[in-house]
Structure 1
């Protein structure tokens, strides 16, 4: 398909699709808007785009001075930095592809599957164990945190599969982290619950969401920046409530 035959609707479909992928993969809203604008400008269209966490709206002015608008709803959001990087590279080198080739490349990136559960499971276990060493724990703290990472992996896997609200997943995650640490304290594997709890909770801490919130605010996207900040705060609150409930019950029962 030559560039002359490309119409506004096709370009708008492509641009909106790219913006949707970026937001679904946890990218910043200003990045999604920037990539959408770059694609539209490359094909000679004047564009305005507006992105928030749950949708992206793109409007272009055609060659006949007609306006076209595309709205993409973001229903699922995750973190996939690799996809964001690949989309960025494709848009930067858009001149190397025809329209059809470029669209196919974008679809290929979108269809790429994330790491399988076993890789995520092993990564979470190793990360939790490593955090125990980082917080000056010993090998026994590492083992307790390692097992806690395994439990968190299972929770997230089945929680996402059942489409459970993220707040409740993190709430239960906080409960599991505290119960896991208390169990190993009772059997004498660890001497300090705090290290095991904190090491496992680090897997659920919304670090990327908080960082993207700051980046959106700096870029002037106040709505998205505040929304991401509130989302990170809610996750932190859920973790604190979950852990606090267990610790309060244990303390009341004289377990601490």
Structure 2
């Protein structure tokens, strides 16, 4: 393999943490999974000389010999399928179903996998989400077209802008603003409640996973990661709200 056994263990552990963190897993899950891999690979006694540390910008493994390894996290998103896959791979390894080398190859393949559901599928379910939330909030069927279309437009714009560059909060604002404008014009022809249309516009981009992970990190006493996630999610929510609020202010 070109590296020592301990170095290979560290590389596999870091790769596991990297995939989990980039896919939206909470900090406590990432740290626990990395520690389980080290304990399984080295044994409980030897693993006591190893320390893992997880931040939103990188994962670390450090030994008592003052040696440390680090992987930087450049992008963070949400891919729960990858989180589930990594969890299953790590369970297979800790239960002796696969070797460490097999685990590394599976993780490497998973890390290189950039496939996503087709955009039309994403837009279809986005429309269902935006429409269903209107009915949940007491709207009627005439409010569905404007909310569904505005939600799909906002999501589509956000996906296209995100593929071009990375400007946090600005893209969320622009997406809901454009989606809100489209929803407003549809609402003029069919619809009774403009507020429900704006809710349908915002709901596909609400950072629900981010807020949930922030609370879980805080409860697990990962205060730095939890606070950062929480503020990030709140700023995203504020940007989304400002986008639709500007539309309402313009039309009123």
- Specify if TM > 0.5: yes
Specify the alignment match of 1:81 in structure 2: 80
Whether the 8 Å contact between 2:53 and 2:59 is mirrored in structure 1 is: yes
Return the alpha-carbon distance in structure 2 between the equivalents of residues 41 and 159 of structure 1. 43
Deviations 1:91-118 (A, max 9, x none): 1221211222111121233233232222
The yes-or-no answer on 1:124 pairing with 2:126 is: yes
Structure 1 residue 181, shift from structure 2 partner: 2.8
Residues 1:183 and 1:233: Cα distance change in structure 2 (over 3 Å): same
SS at match of 2:204: coil
Q: How does 1:1-256 map to 2 (within 5 A)?
A: 7-44=5-42, 45=47, 46-61=49-64, 66-94=65-93, 95-112=96-113, 113-186=115-188, 188-251=189-252
Return the alpha-carbon distance in structure 2 between the equivalents of residues 67 and 54 of structure 1. 21
Deviations 1:219-243 (A, max 9, x none): 0000000001001110111012212
Structure 1 residue 67, shift from structure 2 partner: 4.1
Whether the 8 Å contact between 2:123 and 2:152 is mirrored in structure 1 is: yes
Whether the 8 Å contact between 2:23 and 2:79 is mirrored in structure 1 is: yes
Structure 1 residue 138, shift from structure 2 partner: 2.0
Whether the 8 Å contact between 2:155 and 2:204 is mirrored in structure 1 is: no
Deviations 1:126-178 (A, max 9, x none): 21122222222222211111211221232122111102313111111231243
Return the alpha-carbon distance in structure 2 between the equivalents of residues 68 and 14 of structure 1. 16
SS at match of 1:43: helix
Return the alpha-carbon distance in structure 2 between the equivalents of residues 6 and 119 of structure 1. 45
Return the alpha-carbon distance in structure 1 between the equivalents of residues 180 and 138 of structure 2. 19
Whether the 8 Å contact between 1:128 and 1:200 is mirrored in structure 2 is: yes
Specify the alignment match of 1:254 in structure 2: none
Size of the alignment, in residue pairs?
243
In the TM superposition, structure 1's runs of 4+ consecutive aligned residues that sit over 4 Å from their partners are: none
Whether the 8 Å contact between 1:140 and 1:189 is mirrored in structure 2 is: yes
Whether the 8 Å contact between 1:49 and 1:57 is mirrored in structure 2 is: yes
Q: Greater shift after overlay, 132-141 or 225-234?
A: 132-141
Aligned Cα RMSD in Å?
1.7
> Structure 2-normalised TM-score?
0.90
Whether the 8 Å contact between 1:41 and 1:47 is mirrored in structure 2 is: no
Whether the 8 Å contact between 1:8 and 1:68 is mirrored in structure 2 is: no
Unaligned 5+ segments in structure 2 are none
Deviations 1:15-63 (A, max 9, x none): 00100000000000111111111111111143211112121111135xx
Return the alpha-carbon distance in structure 1 between the equivalents of residues 30 and 199 of structure 2. 34
Unaligned 5+ segments in structure 1 are 252-256
